[in-house]
Amino acid sequence: MTFRRRIIAAMIPLFVLLVALGATGAFLIYHLGRQIDDILRENYDSVIFMRDLNEALERIDSSFQFTLAGREKQSAEQYEKNWPLYQKNLEREQDNITLPGEGELVARLTDLSQRYHKLGDAFFKGPALDRRTPFWESAAIRFIAFKSPVDVRHVLYFGEDFQADKDTGQVKDQAVGLYDLFRQIKTVSGDISRLNEKNMRDVDVATKKLARQSLAWYGGGLACGMLLAIVLVASMIRTIVYPVRAMTASAMAIGAGNLDQVVPITSDDELGRLAAAFNTMTRQLRDFRQSHKAQLLRAQRTSQATIDSFPEPVLVVDWERRVEMANPAARSLFGLPLPENGTAPHYVWEPPDALREPLDLALREQREYVPEGFDKVIVLQQGDEPHSYLPRVLPIRDDTSATLGAAVLLENVTRFRLLDEVKTNMVATVSHELKTPLTSIRLVLHLLLEEQAGPLAPKQLELLVDARDNAERLLTMINNLLDLARLERGGSQLRLEPESPATLLRAAFDAFRPRSHDRGVELVLEEPDYLEKVPVDKERIQHALGNLLDNALAHTPPGGRITLAAEAASDGVVLSVTDTGSGIPAEYLPHIFERHFRVPGDATPGGSGLGLAIVREIVTAHRGTVECRSTPGKRTVFRMLLPTKAE
């Protein structure tokens, strides 16, 4: 039998039992409810009819009493108003006879009601007569002989006098009054109500008995159903759940790496075929692991050997900064333990402070860290000598771009840094040596142009002016080289003092206002509101602002505008220089602060490409940043961010 048929065969008895129990319960509830409703409704109606009849009877009796009390007009109206209600409830009860003995009581009630009605009509029509005045019966009253004056209505209500023969005066029978009929009607109506109430109580007892019997039968059927369900569930657990549980345990063991799993095959149904397929899969996995284990081990050893062949320190960490692989140079530099059994020990690596943030960014945001300048060099002690390393931090991703870890490469640039320092010192020395004779040449050129040694021919004057301009340009270049060399030695020579941003901008504005006026360029100073003072070397910052203004004047045509401004930032103060010059194309913006870089096609004479490099070195020495934003043909903005707290 297939797995599907087995489940269907187990469910069919439960389904049939549930349908049978549901149908039986519905039939019992419907039958019981209808029987109770029919019986109780008829008995309840009779009780209500008798209640309303008695209420009308009470008001009719009150009308007789009101008449005897002298309120004849109101009592007659009450009598005429309530008798139809009495008659209506009597007719309803006549149509609702359902119990044995109830018909006789209703017939008795009908007879009494007719007599009561006739006597009541005579009550309101009869006059007050003297007992000595004989009269003959009219309607329901027979001849009565009276001995003394009396009110006929009083006699009709109470029935206290006796009928007598008109000739002999002998008493024949006692008269029955309205009050006696009232009491008899009350008694019969009460008997009818009690008969129906008794039947209602009997029905309630029988209904409870039937309900208990129905509940017992229904509970027995439910118990049989539960017993059958338990038997079927136990059978399904034995034939379905146990094999599935065994297969689940085997799958979890395989997930943990234990491939030596065999699921027992207990049947030929779908579960049996699934167990056979599972066993085939595990066998193939074992074969696959055996065949690829050597390849994986060989690939791992090849990767480790490749990393070990690098002379520079290299290590690979996972996304939790646990070391995956490291070459001997990295282990020696950071004191990492040797690998065990051909694999690197997995422990959390604590990088140097300078690498902590780049490594976290690479692991969290997959951001590469590949600095180029010597300002990002980190110095680590290896043995007795410090070594300079240029770090590279590269994130490692899988095919779905998920972060697997990061690779850290430290490029040893100790020799290059020493060479750079030698070059810087040599440039500073050469520049300093050239500055002294160049100053003398400038002095001689100025003396010749003043014609103190005699008049000059026009051609001589032209040559001397050109020589003077070239000397000035050469002196500017030498000064820039000296400044750059001094800045590259570090910021230890800065003399930081708190200065107001407004004061710095005003000094630069006053120094360049004559030159901008001569070139026909409008120089504007936007006086800032109160800003926090910044710790700066005033002379160096003025030098940086001067270089930015020189650059702006050189690239802003006459009629243009240069604006000096300052504003507060989240972590400092921003000094900005904005011009309306030719602008810088977007592809050259990343290179404008490099040494000797000039925008291709720039026809501005006299530039050496060192001014903006000096600006960057000055701002970097102040632990700040400088950036450029430009729209070709419209404007260029240089922004210097200076921290408000000195480090």
pLDDT tens-digit readout, 429-438: 655 556 667 7
Please tell me the pTM assigned to this model: 0.40
**Domain segments of the chain as ranges:** 3-126+176-202, 259-309, 310-412, 419-485, 494-643
43: Cβ contacts below 8 Å, ≥ 6 apart? 98, 99, 196, 197, 199, 200, 203
2 pLDDT band, cuts 50/70/90, is low
Beta bridge mates, 573: 568, 642
Q: Residue 389 pLDDT > 70, yes or no?
A: yes
- pLDDT-derived band at 147, boundaries 50, 70, 90: very low
Tell me phi and psi for residue 403, to 5 degrees: -75, 120
- Residue 8's CB: how many other CB atoms inside 10 A? 12
Which of 80-94, 239-253, 470-484 shows the lowest mean pLDDT across its residues? Answer: 470-484
Q: 406, 395 in Cβ contact below 8 A?
A: yes
Burial group, residue 327, by CB count within 10 angstroms (0-12, 13-18, 19+): buried
Q: For position 30, what pLDDT does the model report?
A: 61
Report the alpha-carbon distance of residue 638 to residue 579 in Å, rounded: 9
CATH of 494-643, one of 1.20.1340.10, 3.30.565.10, 2.40.50.140, 3.40.50.920: 3.30.565.10
Question: Sheet of 625-631: strands edge to edge?
Answer: 522-525, 561-569, 572-579, 635-643, 625-631
Q: Please report which confidence band the pLDDT of residue 596 belongs to, taking 50, 70 and 90 as the band edges.
A: confident
Q: What average pLDDT is seen over the chain?
A: 76
Whether the CA torsion 74, 77, 83, 85 is positive or negative: it is negative
Which CATH superfamily includes the segment(s) 310-412? PAS domain (3.30.450.20)
CA–CA gap between residue 221 and residue 542 (Å, rounded): 102
pLDDT of res. 148: 38
Is pLDDT at 141 greater than 50 in this prediction? no
Give me the residues paired with residue 361 across strands: none
pLDDT of residue 638: 94
CATH class of 3-126+176-202: mainly alpha
Confidence class for position 292, pLDDT limits 50, 70, 90: low
Statement: residue 145 has pLDDT above 90: no
Residue 621: the pLDDT is 83
Mean pLDDT of 466-476: 71
What pLDDT score was predicted for residue 150?
Answer: 46
Cα–Cα distance between 615 and 624 in angstroms, integer?
A: 11
Would you say 532 and 644 are in contact if contact means Cβ atoms under 8 Å apart?
yes
Q: What is the 3-state secondary structure (H, E, C) of 558-577?
A: CCCEEEEEEEEECCEEEEEE
Percent of the chain's residues with pLDDT above 90: 15
